[in-house]
Structure 1
Amino acid sequence: MAAALLVCSLAAAQSSDEQLPGFDLERLETNVGRGTTLVGNGELMVPGGLNVSLLGHYQRLPLVLNDGEGDLQVVRNRATALLSAGYGVLPWLEVSAQLPFVLWQQGDDPALVGLGQLAAQGLGTPVLQARLGLLSRRQRQPVDLSADLGVGLPFGNGSALAGDDGPRFHARMTVGTSLGWVAPSLEAGVLFRPSILLATSAGAAKQGANSEIRLGAALATTGKGLRGELGLRATLSPQVSMDLLGGVRFPLPAGLDAFLMGGPGLGGALGAPRFRMLAGVSFRSEPPPKLSFMDATADRELQLALATPTRQQEEERVRPVSTWELNSLSRGDPLENAEQQGKKEPLRPYQPTPQEKVVLRGVIAFSQGSAELPGVVPLLDQAVLQLSELHRGGTVIIEGHADTEGTDTSDMFMSLRRAQAVRRYLVNQGIPATQVRIRGFGAEWPLSARPATEEERQLNRRAEVIVLTDAAPTSTNAQSPAP
């Protein structure tokens, strides 16, 4: 219907100076911030985080008209560029802006239907957007959920089919999560835009609805190396159009990422090409959250609570032994060491001495039966930053815990594996291995003694991270207990 009305108006034109009605031909929206190139994942950048990207976009046959006798390829090839930037303002607010440009486009001579030449270059519709965080997995919620509110400013060049006659507005919801090595996400929203005005021999007429429903879905692999992306976008208006794009994203030096995507377009709506290709680079910088120092009174109360088991200890049968205890047994008289070891109390969570200062403490939760770190862990980035700023060095104590997921022995091994996973991450970030100490407690020290929900059970599947300053030199020979 859009093509028929537009062709009728073109055929009725009497002057070669007449131009195509000004409207924004572009229908594909890209994502600014976290997530894939096409669809976000509902996660916001941390406050102070910055994301900047430059994207090149090629389209094949985005505007083809048919007057009943043949096709007129008004826009056969089109190349555009998109500069976008996003900034994390608050934990629940992220703002962004997009500025598109038409670099080059060409097609059949519009004079065949009585039109003047189409502009080959022009400024596109600038878009300003605010993203509001509603749910976050950082707060141990099941998914990331955000709402986007945006406005398209009427500054685009209509003669280059890059701008509408008035402002446009959009609102959408985005949800995403992580399932092992893949991260799915979904998006749904509505776009309100000015109607395209066409002049026919019968007078003025309006073409097309002034609102469109836009849907999106994406699936991406996780990790730090080469990653794959698959995205689907659909627009529901008087006509339906869809784009299916697949590609890869890979890291570059200096914090840059490069991406390449391509795929077919389906549907007869204006601006639905036969093929698209996207390529570009992005830069993201997110500072770790501000360090939080533990209050001395709160720390003392926490230590007293940890010192009392939440469930009655069974009579010792065979107590799991940590690595450093095995090493200590290998030094000196084995019989004497074993006799002294038998008199010691069971391992307890580490309690700093008065000469030590706790500068950072936090908990990392794990999935059931897993010792893999749950994606991005800001706590560990805080620990790396804090250790790099300590002038006299510091110590990181990692204590692994498990839920009652198996036998006592398997729980002990699982808690040690979780502690080792945290230690491996810190060492890979440049922390000397001699500054990192680990211990495993199995399921002996749960935070929730009788868990009834998955959230309570996850509290027990954890690794506790404690960053301490080195013990201050004293005039006595007293030594603080080593973990």
Structure 2
Amino acid sequence: MPGFDLERLETNTGRGTLLVGNGELMVPGGLNVTLLGHYQHLPLVLNDGERDLGIVQNRATAMLSASYGLLPWLELSAQLPFVLWQRGEDPSAVGLAELAGQGLGTPVLQARLGVLSRMRRQPLDLAVDLGVGLPIGTGSALAGDPGPRVHARMVAGAVLGWVQPSFEAGVLFRPSVLLPSTNAPVRPGASSEIRLGASLATTGKGARAELGWRGTFAPDAVSMELLGGFRVPVLSGLEAFVLGGPGLGGAAGTPLFRVLTGLTFREEPPPRISFPWDARADQELQLTLANPERPLDQESVRPVPAWQLNALSRGEAGSAEASAPPRPNQIGPQEKIVLRGEVHFPQGSAEMPGVVPLLDQVVLRTLEQATEGYILIEGHSDKDSADAYTAVRRAQAIRRYLISQGIPATRVRTQAFGSDWPVSSHPATEQERQLNRRAEVLVITESTPPPTTQVAPP
């Protein structure tokens, strides 16, 4: 048996689904580590002229992969696979030597270059992957090519409501493979392959479903695999996943079916949401966020400013507010609000939604005040059960970001109110419910008392 890498499935490192990336890069300093194992059934079947022989009937492999955000436009990753166990029929029937049961797979080093990003207000995420497979795998275990392999591909993704579609297209260059066939003693394997992929995943922070497709197209062989499954959060930053599905095609390494399972750990610092080259646009967006215009036809949407506390807590604004508990944070008579805005979140999420220039303005305004004043962050949630426990996390997420930008922790205060103080008391549409899923950010400083003139008594 000529030594070559039988594995055809390329898993994704970094952001995206297990099979296909979504074009996003890890934040600089972010780390993603994945440990997975998978089982394949009948990945290699040859014909001796009379019948099909399952040279590799069952195969179990494992892979350790990691990706690291080095620069805002550069992510580096590595994959290290292992063949844990494989079994099949005696290959001597076709004149081949017995296979090794274990071995090291082909290590892959990759660089992902960011081209477009939704974080920069662009319509989608687009990246270029450039990778090389090192020829140090165990060829006798069908886990290593005799020479290096190189791949290049484009990866794109976007978010459409509650789903995230992703696509990729690329080419793989690898050494030629000679295998026995039914028509001739040997046939040359393609030295280049076109590889396509697509995936569809649900968004959110809880359990998520994903479906991925991969296809390999070579002059003498075509193969495809369809894998579906789900991801479930286990601990903070840690997820478990399970996927499985069938394979179709005659290319070596395409199993009848495959099952994958494993764990992914991700740790990322808050992104630096700052665009100094577009200060005017940032200022305009900040003003829009700080002073939102309510459409006239949305009379049911009634804003509740964070500092209008006394009347509401006494119930003077109506019976709906009379039953709500009083807010503990009262803006004192010697304090004034110099900046106010809101950050809105998806349902059940406490992750900052993309570009938030408001927070950069908060950082600048606070640092201008030296040691005076403080920042008050109020977390709010919708009444929906999937969103009821995220108010604290939303306030803490913004607090972590502000501290990472240089704001002293002693100057950032947080308070969570759950769904007790909605913007829309009786939301009838998703837009109104989204207004309730928010964090209000206020920059508060001491008000300078007006000068007084003392008149000497007569």
TM-score (structure 1 length as normaliser): 0.66
CA change 1:75–1:321 in 2 (3 A) is closer
For the 8 Å contact 2:391–2:418, the answer to whether it is kept is no
Deviations 1:310-336 (A, max 9, x none): 99xx9xxxx9774665953897999xx
- Equivalent residue number for residue 416 of structure 2: 433
Query: Gapped runs of 5+ residues in structure 2?
Result: 318-333, 380-387, 400-413, 424-436, 453-458
For the 8 Å contact 2:120–2:355, the answer to whether it is kept is no
In the alignment, the residues of structure 2 paired with residue 464 and residue 27 of structure 1 have an alpha-carbon distance, to the nearest angstrom, of 46
2:353 is matched by which residue type in structure 1?
A: V
In the alignment, the residues of structure 2 paired with residue 80 and residue 199 of structure 1 have an alpha-carbon distance, to the nearest angstrom, of 25
1:256 is matched by which residue type in structure 2?
A: L
Pair 1:272-2:254 in alignment? yes
How many pairs align? 382
CA change 1:151–1:114 in 2 (3 A) is same
CA change 1:116–1:138 in 2 (3 A) is same
In the alignment, the residues of structure 1 paired with residue 109 and residue 95 of structure 2 have an alpha-carbon distance, to the nearest angstrom, of 37
CA change 1:427–1:396 in 2 (3 A) is closer
In the alignment, the residues of structure 2 paired with residue 172 and residue 126 of structure 1 have an alpha-carbon distance, to the nearest angstrom, of 18
TM-score (structure 2 length as normaliser): 0.69
- Equivalent residue number for residue 353 of structure 2: 377
Out of 238, 242, 248, the residue aligned to residue 224 of structure 2 is 242
Where 2:93 maps in the other structure, the secondary structure is helix
- Equivalent residue number for residue 47 of structure 2: 66
Deviations 1:12-33 (A, max 9, x none): xxxxxxxx10111000000001
Question: In the TM superposition, what is the alpha-carbon distance from 1:112 to its structure 2 partner?
Answer: 2.7
CA change 1:331–1:284 in 2 (3 A) is closer
In the alignment, the residues of structure 2 paired with residue 330 and residue 171 of structure 1 have an alpha-carbon distance, to the nearest angstrom, of 61
In the alignment, the residues of structure 2 paired with residue 90 and residue 379 of structure 1 have an alpha-carbon distance, to the nearest angstrom, of 18
Out of 167, 172, 177, the residue aligned to residue 191 of structure 1 is 172
For the 8 Å contact 1:289–1:378, the answer to whether it is kept is no
In the alignment, the residues of structure 1 paired with residue 95 and residue 79 of structure 2 have an alpha-carbon distance, to the nearest angstrom, of 35
Superposition pairs of residues 12-31 of structure 1, within 5 angstroms: 20-31=1-12
Query: Gapped runs of 5+ residues in structure 1?
Result: 1-19, 335-352, 399-419, 441-461, 479-483
Structure whose CA Rg is larger: 1
Deviations 1:338-375 (A, max 9, x none): xxxxxxxxxxxxxxx998887xx888589xxx999897
In the alignment, the residues of structure 2 paired with residue 188 and residue 321 of structure 1 have an alpha-carbon distance, to the nearest angstrom, of 47
Where 1:252 maps in the other structure, the secondary structure is strand
Pair 1:221-2:195 in alignment? no
Q: Give the fraction of aligned pairs with identical amino acids, expressed as a percent.
A: 57
Superposition pairs of residues 446-465 of structure 1, within 5 angstroms: none
Pair 1:212-2:202 in alignment? no
For the 8 Å contact 2:273–2:357, the answer to whether it is kept is no
Deviations 1:129-148 (A, max 9, x none): 01111111112221111111
Pair 1:287-2:269 in alignment? yes
CA change 1:139–1:439 in 2 (3 A) is farther
Deviations 1:174-231 (A, max 9, x none): 111111111111111110111114699xx99760221000111111111111111111
Where 1:432 maps in the other structure, the secondary structure is strand
Out of 6, 30, 36, the residue aligned to residue 17 of structure 2 is 36
Where 2:92 maps in the other structure, the secondary structure is helix
Out of 307, 311, 317, the residue aligned to residue 328 of structure 1 is 311
CA change 1:113–1:66 in 2 (3 A) is closer
- Equivalent residue number for residue 111 of structure 1: 92
